[in-house]
Amino acid sequence: MKKVLSVIGARPQFIKHVPVLSELQKRFNAITVHTGQHYDENMSDIFFNDLLLPRPEFRLTLSGKTHAEQTGEMMVGIERILLDEKPDFVLVYGDTNSTLAAALAAAKLCIPVIHVESGLRSYNMDMPEEVNRIVTDHTSKILFCPDNSSQSNLLKEGISKNVYVCGDVMKDMVRLASPYIKSIESDRPYVFATIHRPYNTDDQSRMVYILDALNKLDYDVIFPMHPRTVHKLKQYNIDLAQYSNIRIVEPMGYFESMSYQQKAHCVITDSGGMQKEAYWLRRRCITLRTETEWTDTLQNDWNVLLFDDLSSLKELVDRKLPETYDENLYGDGYAAQKIVDVIYSF
């Protein structure tokens, strides 16, 4: 059997890997490398336990903190594994440092790279993720796009060979997760919020501005806090007790997060994946960013971008659900099967 080595390292990749690995194992010798990019138990182990994802055959230990240190360490570790395992393909997801490190290590060894979630563009080069996804696309041999817009983005950059529109594997997971989503009991309607990106957390005044805006809402705010955000709040000596409307909780497992999203009045986030999850769960989303790579979610105001002036946050939260909905946004929920069919025929 041909060997496909998949590289994962961050929360969204654990989720995406579940349906793809299930399909890969039917036709390939499928092995997995966990880079350790998300090393916190609540950002890593909880997802393996929650999703019943098989433990990876290889796991790296990182000591680097900067993007360059982290990416460099991962490249060295991944290269050693590639030299030993000699896979026929290396499969990567999305736009993390793990993705970039694996793509570069494989490309330099002339191992074909498969990029799942190709062609997404925010056109904001200040985002490390934008750099990662562009470089990965240009080093990949097989590229799987979630929609036609992503395919068009690749064409603009001269990438047309072995490009396939297959849908989004995260929609596969929403389909698979539906029996496990629980009903959340809540005394009051609530908003579900997640904030972790540097442009929202690395400036103290910005972080306080966001917390103040959330605290003024007429809804309870349930806020599972990313370890990075927790670290920043401690660094800023921000007293969370003054924000009585915000309930800070530990990072959630996949099914718990989906359950809270499904029952929320709306979702407020700067996450890419949660913009899609909210749409598929038919929840409105307010994205605290100036742009999004998931532009189709903006249709009919299911997702709204908000950044500089948060004074309109309350009004946006109070809006009703849009009447028009696209059942087939980002595919039919069977993207993983399409992806593995293409790899097998390749």
Q: What are 91-139's pLDDT values in tens digits?
A: 999 999 999 999 999 999 999 999 999 999 999 998 899 999 999 999 9
Give the model's pLDDT for residue 64. 67
Question: Which candidate in 17, 196, 231, 265 is catalytic?
Answer: 196
pLDDT-derived band at 73 (thresholds 50, 70, 90) equals: very high
Residue 196 among the catalytic residues: yes
Q: Look-up: residue for tokens 């982290």? A: 70
Where do we find the tokens 């989503």?
181
Which residues contact residue 315 at a Cβ distance below 8 angstroms, ignoring those fewer than 6 apart?
A: none
Residue ranges, comma separated, of all CATH 3.40.50.2000 domains in the chain are 3-168+331-345, 179-318
pLDDT of 184 over the 90 cut: no
* Rg of the Cα atoms in the chain: 20
In the sheet that holds 266-269, the strands lie side by side as: 246-249, 220-224, 190-194, 266-269, 284-287, 303-305
Q: What is the CATH number of domain 179-318?
A: 3.40.50.2000
Tell me: the pLDDT tens digits for 134-171? 999 999 999 999 999 999 999 999 999 999 999 999 99
> In this predicted structure, what is the pLDDT of residue 11?
85
Nearest to 278 by CA among 170, 160, 169, 142: 170
CATH classification for the domain delimited by 3-168+331-345, as one of 3.40.190.10, 1.10.1740.10, 3.50.50.60, 3.40.50.2000? 3.40.50.2000
- Joined tokens for residue 276: 């899609």
CA 185 to chain centre: 27
Query: In a 10 Å sphere around its CB, with 0-12 CB exposed, 13-18 middle and 19+ buried, how is residue 40 labelled?
Result: middle
* DSSP string of 3-33, one letter each residue: EEEEEE-SHHHHHHHHHHHHHHHHHSEEEEE
273, 15 Cβ separation under 8 angstroms: yes
The pLDDT of residue 204 is 95
* pLDDT for position 183: 84
Tens digits of residue pLDDT in 19-31:
999 999 999 999 9
194-232: pLDDT as tens digits: 999 999 999 999 999 999 999 999 999 999 998 888 889
Quick one: pLDDT at residue 38?
65
pLDDT at 43 over 60: no
Mean pLDDT of the chain: 93
Please report the pLDDT score of residue 39 as a whole number.
59
| pLDDT range class, residue 63, cuts 50, 70, 90 | confident
Q: Is the dihedral of CA 292, 293, 294, 300 positive or negative?
A: positive
Can you give the pLDDT at residue 44? 55
Structure tokens at 302: 């299911």
185 φ/ψ sector (left φ>0, alpha ψ -120 to 50, else beta)? beta
pLDDT grade for 72, boundaries at 50, 70 and 90: very high
**pLDDT value of position 116:** 98
